Structure formats: C-alpha cells, structure tokens
Chain A
Amino acid sequence: MNMVLLILSIILIATFGLSNLIYILISATTTYFAARAKKHKKLAFIGTIILNVGILVFFKFVTYNNFFNLIDSKNILVPLGISYYTFQVLAYLIDVYKGKIKAVTNFKDYLLFVFYFPYLIIGPINRYSDLSKTLYKKKKLEKDNILNGLVRITWGLFKKYVIAARIGLIVTTITSNLDYQGAYVLLALLLYSFELYADFSGGIDIVLGFSKMLGIILPENFDRPYLSRNLKEFWRRWHISLSSWFRDYIYIPLGGSKCGNFRKKINVIITFIVSGLWHGINYFFWGLFHGIIVAFQNKPNDNCKTLKIILNFILVSLLWIFFIYPNSITAFKMLITIFYKFNYLELFTNILNLGLDIPNLIVLIITLIILVISDIKNEKIKNILYNNKDEVKLIFICSMILIVLLLGVYGLGFNTSDFIYSKF
C-alpha cells in the first residue's frame, strides 16, 4: 500500500510537470544522504541546508517575485509545493543533526515522507516524528476512517467553494478597481479574513480528510484563529505548522526568549520579517507589523474576552491589506482611505454592484454565520459529527455534496480551483 501511495504521488507530481519531480527528488536525496552522513557531518549538513534554501530562494525571489529582474522569469515555473517540502526536509535534517530523531534508513520510506502528495498543494508542513507514526503503518481501508475523512473533505469543499469563492467575487471586484476606497476597502478586508480562512482551512480539511481515509494523521493547521484575544495567541492558532516551524527553526536558533527581554523582542520581529519575506517581498511590512505587535504583547487574559476577540479580528483583517493589493505602496494608500473616507452610505447603496446579487448575498451571510458558529461550537459539533451514528455522518456527507454542487462558485467563468495559499 505504501509503495502504491508513493508511486501514485510520483505520478501526480509528474502530471504537474516533470521538472517538479526533479526538484523534489533533489531535496529528498540530498537531505536523506546528509542526514545519514558519517564523515564530514557538519559540512554535509550546512551544504545541504544551503543547497535547499538556495533553490527555495531562487524560485521564490528570483523567479516568482522577479526580485532583482535578473532573469526573464516568465518561462520558469515554481516547483509544486517547493516551500512545503523544503521546510519539511529541512526540519527533518536539523532534527537529525541535533539528535532529536534518528535518520531514516530506508530510502523508499523517506521518499514517501517527502513525496506524499496531498500536503504539497497547501500544507501542512509535517514533522517526521509525527507523520512517521501513521504514514508507514500497514494501511487498510476502515469504514470509520473513510466516513470521518469524507466528513472532513466535504466540509472543506463547502468552506472553499461555497464561502471562500463567493467572498472572492466581492473582494476581487473591490481590489481590482482602486476607485473603491474607504468603506469598500474595509469591507474587502473584513471579508478577505473569512475568505482566506475558509479557503486555506478548507484546503487543509481536504488534505487531512483524504489522509484520514488512508489512516494517516496529519497535524492540525488551524485552531479557530479568529477567536484569539490578541495577535500572540492568533499565531499559535493560525497556520500552526508554519508558525511552529518558524519558531523551532528561526526564532529558537536566534536565541528565542532565553537572551534578555530586548533581544527576545528583536528575535520575534526578525522571525516575523522572515515569515513575511517567505510570503514574498511585498509582505515585508505585513511581517514587520505582526512582529512588532506580537513582540510587545503578553499572554492574553479573559477580561472583556469578546471585545478583545473583535478588536483582534479587526487588527488581523487590517493587516491582510498586503495580501489583497499588488504592492506595499498601494496597500498603504488604500489602508489610509479607511480612516478618512467615510463612504459607508454609498457602500450600502452600491452593495449589489460588487459581484453578488441578493440570493447570493443571503447565501453568503448564512454560510458565514455557519462558519462562525462552527468555530465557536467547535467541540460540540465535532462530537455530534464524529461520535454519532454512521447514518448521521452519511447524511452530512450527502448534504454537503449537494450544497457544494448547487451553491458552490466553480466551473466555467470562475477561476476558483486554486487555493490562495498554494501560490506561497
């Protein structure tokens, strides 16, 4: 079964272009042998890190961001999932080098760890110590796993195609016309918060659900992030696998919190700047602002919890400005309009010209309420779905399929098949 999974993953990666296979194979091979090196261990370790980080930097900055205008990048395609597998193999290599885990001795097993297809599109970034617990287990299709996996997949499809893609129509209308300012920008930002969350976590649900069907447990990437009381908490609950990767392999090597209060704050800011730059040059200020705010925040308490959650949500939303406009200068310009252009009445009267008619707006409002409730009552809903009779799960799966088919935004004329975070 594992061999089948590996071959299927290889075929799927190759369908996106043979070059994808070559780059991922380079990463897998170099880290596998570097981790097993007996002689010149440090040299192999550093050399492999430089090689893999170099490939990532080349594709993300020189080609994808066309950073220095050094080469004509139009014909160069960024390898599929390069960030995810590079972070994954680097974490593995560093953990082996530090003695936290033992090097894998079976190359085929290691290839499966790197090539396992589902995570390459959108994550999560897996740690070998976690993934290996279930990845190599003898697999047999079990009814419970299949049903629970399908519940998760259909819920992810609902979030992606019914909520995120529908919001995307409004956000795109607003952000593609810079005459939409003030209240429009604020609306776009608040909606984008939901769009990004529904799109990204929906994608993760699909990946985790598919893995669950095979009996493979991948780490959760979200823990109801918009219920966070401040940014510090938000980053423990949003894109958890990436945040923890930056914590373990950037923040802590920089000294973490063990080197004085001032240095700790600097380390936090540097870590967030690196995280911003990983998203792209245009996200530098996004990383910087997050870093500064997080550096000066403490662990939140429960006083005025709801108010804190709302304020934090607004803050996070405002900072997404760098995600919805093509460059930082435009982002700043449009952000400022929120604070001096009070065109809320105009927005209200013009709401039907932003890409959705009345039935679609009603669907959007209802589904957003469902999304919020599903986060607030997360445990209760999980209990109902996962600990109930199989019939309940089957009804949920069938209902979700019909709802997605009918109310989803997809098909001809809509470019909604890609996930927002797959470009990173």
Chain B
Amino acid sequence: MMDSLRGQNLLDLGELSRSALIEVLDTAESFVEVNRRVVKKVPALKGRVVASLFFEESTRTRLSFETAAKRLSADVLSLAVASSSVKKGESLKDTIATIEALGIDAVVMRHRSSGAAVQVARFVPHVRVINAGDGLHQHPTQGLLDAFTLRSVLAERRGERGRDTGAELFAGLRVLIVGDIRHSRVARSDVDAYVGLGATVSLAAPGTLLPEGVEEWPVDVVDDFDESLARADVIGVLRLQHERGTGAFVPSLSEFTATHGLTAARVARLSPETIIMHPGPMNRGVEIDASVADSPASVITRQVANGVPVRMAVLYLSVAGGEGAW
C-alpha cells in the first residue's frame, strides 16, 4: 500500500491507500481551477519529458493525458506505437529501451496486454510509469476520475467543496456496477477506488461476464439486476464490446440489453437522486439507452471533463513528486 502517489508509479489503483486516493482527488480539485483560467498552464513539469506510449489506440485517453502534461508545461513525446515497429515483433523491452534513450522522465502507457505497465516499470526503474490502461487489468486514472466526479457531485449537493469532505461522502454510499465486469479494466480500478474510499460496491452481470474468483473481491455480487437498482445511489455502467455479444459470452446484444441494459424503463423507477456514470465510449442502445445517457441523472460529460485535471494531478504527484511551482 502506498500512502502517497508522490514520486511513485501509478500501475494498480489497489496499491493506493485511502489517504493517497484523497490526496489525488484534492490535488485534482486544485487543477480544475487552473483549467478555468484563461491561461490554462502551470510550470510544474517545465523541462520534464513525458512520453505518451499507446500500444493500443485510444484517442480520448491519449489526448486527455497529453493535454494534462502540456498544461503542466511538460514536453510531450507522443509515439504512435500502435502503428510503428512494435507490430513487427519488437519486444516490449526493446521499445521501452529506445524511448528511454531519448531521455524521458515519465511514460504514460496503454497496452492491450494485462501487466504491460508493470513490466515496463521493471525495465526502466528510474522512469515514472503511469498506466493508462493495460489489458483487462487496470485503468487507474479512470478509477480516479470516476471517484473525483462522484465526490464533486455529492459535495455540490451539500454545498461544499470536495476537498473539505475527504472521503466522508463515500461512507455508506452504495455503488452498483453493471455490465461486462470480466473484461473490464475500468471495473477493477473503479472497485479499488470506491472500496478504498469507503463505499459499498455491488456488481451485476450475466454469469459469463463475472471475473473468476469474484467471490473474493470486497464486493457483493447481485443476481437480480432489477431488484438491486432500487438500492443503488450510484450506477456505473460499463461498455459492452460488440464481440462479446455474438454468442460467445452472451447470446446477443439485445438479450444483454434486456437483462442488464440501463434502459429508460429501468431508470424511470429510480430515485431522481441516483447518479448514472459511464466511462465511455458508449454503445447507446446496448448497455445504456441514449435518453438515459443524456438525462439529468447522468454525469457522463463531467467524467470526460474531469479527465484532464485528474491526470494533471497524477502527473504532478508522480512525476514532480508533488513539488514545483504552479
């Protein structure tokens, strides 16, 4: 367990203690203010080089990270490795050695293989590694920005600032995560963030989309999605990749929607206070109805907007050790 992200790699959200999580959220809140300025730039990472290494394409996450790094005045090396020599059989170790030789302070990496960021951190011990999503394993900054969004919304309802509430708004909070838990790195990071901050987490999914050994996770697994909805303060909907719905894991996308989709009919039965989240990109009409995604209960666009300040906080703490002017 790490009690602070300062100077550390961010590989697996399960490694962060509650105080470390709160530190990131509080720091992100400060950066929200920076992002509201006319000049949205601070010198915290001036002279530092951050490599953005996306072995798997993700325009949204990559832009969010690169924007965050630039607003901290870092030099950003953006390498489109998804289409470079890596495809021609270059090993992870060789790729990272090449990048390291350019003189970098940090690498933000996305990879289709679980654990790739953990391996890279071992290959380049003097470079800070930020995991931007590895296979089915973790997507730590998504978990952080989801927790940040949730705390902001709950704090606003009480007329407070998030940073004045620590983790207290998570105590007793009932979060229901629904969908393809098995193949979701977001689910794993969300569970780590919410449980780490003190919330009660339930999971709902078809049996084939639950991870192996989920009974050992610090969560409840609910069999009846409809029945569990009424008891949720927050519903986190996960993306269902189309290829899972062709009979391999669920018989069809429409059957998934019928059993586990957050449809307008289901939402109509919820308390108006219920918060609806989705990490994006959405498959409207599959795991979430379009009208639900655009409803007042949805905080999905806030999640997207919070990506930059949360990633600024992560880079600031991890790469600058939480020091330096801004």
State yes or no: do A and B come from one complex: no
List B residues at the A interface (Cβ < 8 Å): none
List A residues at the B interface (Cβ < 8 Å): none
